[in-house]
Amino acid sequence: MTALKSETIHTDRLTLLPLQAEHADEMAAVLSDPGLHTFIGGAPDSAQSLRARYERWAAGSPDPAESWCNWVIQLRDAACLAGTVQATITADDRGAAAEIAWVVGTPWQRRGIATEAAQGLVAWLRKHSVHTVIAHIHPDHEASSAVATAAGLTPTDQWHDREITWQLAIS
């Protein structure tokens, strides 16, 4: 499998734009609530450290078997950014497997944005030889579990650190 690159994805209300370092200033404000880190750990980044992180992500994985695909979530009508989705895609002898994750800034939550973005991401992965999609979700994280369910994933009996592995097998 050649390395996958994130492409623009359109859903009903959203445009998922390939993430670039230039998104860091706006995203630092979007992701500024420490509450976003309750289940995923860490703390909000400054615009400067977010820019450095986005530059690393945009440069891609040093491992040729792995693709780092990251998007910012843009609300098309408001033309503002509201969060991110990501897929780490690993090539294997059956094609590729993807681990996905999502974050939506606190002011934009509970409007179905993560659900719509995750569904758009999974639809994109389906078109790119991905046979398995997984996500790691804390067992108490109701919102993220609901997003994963809506994107077609189901919980497995496997754990990764203190999180449950969710999975979608694509035929």
Ligand X SMILES: CC(C)(COP(=O)(O)OP(=O)(O)OC[C@H]1O[C@@H](n2cnc3c(N)ncnc32)[C@H](O)[C@@H]1OP(=O)(O)O)[C@@H](O)C(=O)NCCC(=O)NCCS
Residues that bind ligand X (CB under 6 A): 36, 39-40, 101-104, 109-115, 135, 137, 141-144, 146-147, 150
Residues 6+ apart with CB under 8 A from 158: 164, 165
Report H helices in 40-106: 47-59
DSSP three-state, residue 27? helix
Q: Which is nearer to ligand X, 17 or 40 (CB)?
A: 40
In whole angstroms, the minimum distance from the beta carbon of 53 to ligand X comes to: 15
In whole angstroms, the minimum distance from the beta carbon of 136 to ligand X comes to: 7
Q: Which is nearer to ligand X, 26 or 129 (CB)?
A: 26
Q: How far apart are CA 65 and CA 88, in angstroms?
A: 10
Q: How far apart are CA 130 and CA 91, in angstroms?
A: 9
Q: Which is nearer to ligand X, 126 or 141 (CB)?
A: 141
Q: Which is nearer to ligand X, 113 or 121 (CB)?
A: 113
In whole angstroms, the minimum distance from the beta carbon of 146 to ligand X comes to: 3
Cβ–Cβ under 8 Å, residues 144 and 137: yes
